[in-house]
């Protein structure tokens, strides 16, 4: 059964944006032109989704998060309150001759976030950067380089401090494996990368 989207009367959704079925957009959120928001998403109060930004299905963008173009979020991504995704490698308001920069004077670069990843409250992701599938960025972190799948990163600048599974709980060592204490799922680390292990 298709669920209708719920968009608050005080939200600002451009007519050229695409909003998926069952998505909820709260008070004062703004979705700009050509943005694509998948089905089952939630955009919190005051969230900003820039022009052409793409959100997969079942994403949650919490209050006052700023997702600037050309960011791409895959399915099931969580963006915490007041998170910022930048899009300008060399930010300046003016050109060297003192003239005001226009859209033609810079090239936007984006943040990409893999399926199931979470970015904690007030984290800042400095584009261009990719956050891997099921990764976890701690609250307040400043991400300046790519984050591997399943990695937990924290600090300024963000550094890897562990591994996490799809349940969102840090993995624990179990011999030569890493294991989720909630689900029992097993993973193996090889050359700084983590992959699920089948134990049939």
Q: What is the pLDDT of residues 110-127, one digit of tens each?
A: 999 999 999 999 999 999
Mean pLDDT of 132-146: 98
User: Residue 38 sits in a domain of what CATH number?
Assistant: 2.160.10.10
How remote is the C-alpha of 180 from its chain's centroid? 23
Domain count, the chain: 2
- Does residue 63 form part of some domain? yes
Q: Are residues 199 and 174 in the same domain?
A: yes
Q: Are residues 198 and 117 in the same domain?
A: no
What percent of the chain shows pLDDT beyond 90? 92
Query: What's the rounded Cα separation, in Å, for the pair 152 and 158?
Result: 9
Q: Are residues 100 and 182 in the same domain?
A: no
Rg, Å, the chain Cα set: 18
Q: Are residues 21 and 104 in the same domain?
A: yes
User: pTM higher than 0.85, yes or no?
Assistant: yes
Residue 64 belongs to domain spanning: 6-164
Dump pLDDT digits (tens) for 153-200: 999 999 999 999 999 999 999 989 999 999 999 999 999 999 999 865
- Helical ranges in the chain per DSSP H: none
- E runs forming strands in 117-181: 118-119, 124-125, 129-131, 136-137, 142-143, 151-154, 159-163, 172-174, 177-179
Contact 14, 31 (CB under 8 A): yes
């Amino acid at each position: 059964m298709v669920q209708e989207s719920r968009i608050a009367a005080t939200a600002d959704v451009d007519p050229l944006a695409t909003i998926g079925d069952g998505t909820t957009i709260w008070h004062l959120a703004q979705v700009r032109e050509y943005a694509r928001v998948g089905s089952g998403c939630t955009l919190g109060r005051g969230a900003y989704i820039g022009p052409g930004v793409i959100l997969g299905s079942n994403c949650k963008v919490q209050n006052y998060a700023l997702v600037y173009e050309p960011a791409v979020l895959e399915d099931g991504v969580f963006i915490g309150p007041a998170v910022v995704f930048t899009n300008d490698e060399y930010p300046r308001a003016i050109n060297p001759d003192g003239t005001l920069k226009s859209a033609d004077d810079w090239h936007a670069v984006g943040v990409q976030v893999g399926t199931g990843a979470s970015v904690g409250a007030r984290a800042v992701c400095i584009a261009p950067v990719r956050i891997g599938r099921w990764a976890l960025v701690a609250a307040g972190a400043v991400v300046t380089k790519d984050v591997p799948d399943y990695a937990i990163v924290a600090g300024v600048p963000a550094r890897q401090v562990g591994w996490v599974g799809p349940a969102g709980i840090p993995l624990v060592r179990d011999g030569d494996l890493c294991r989720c204490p909630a689900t029992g799922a097993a993973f193996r680390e090889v050359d700084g990368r983590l992959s699920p292990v089948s134990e049939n």
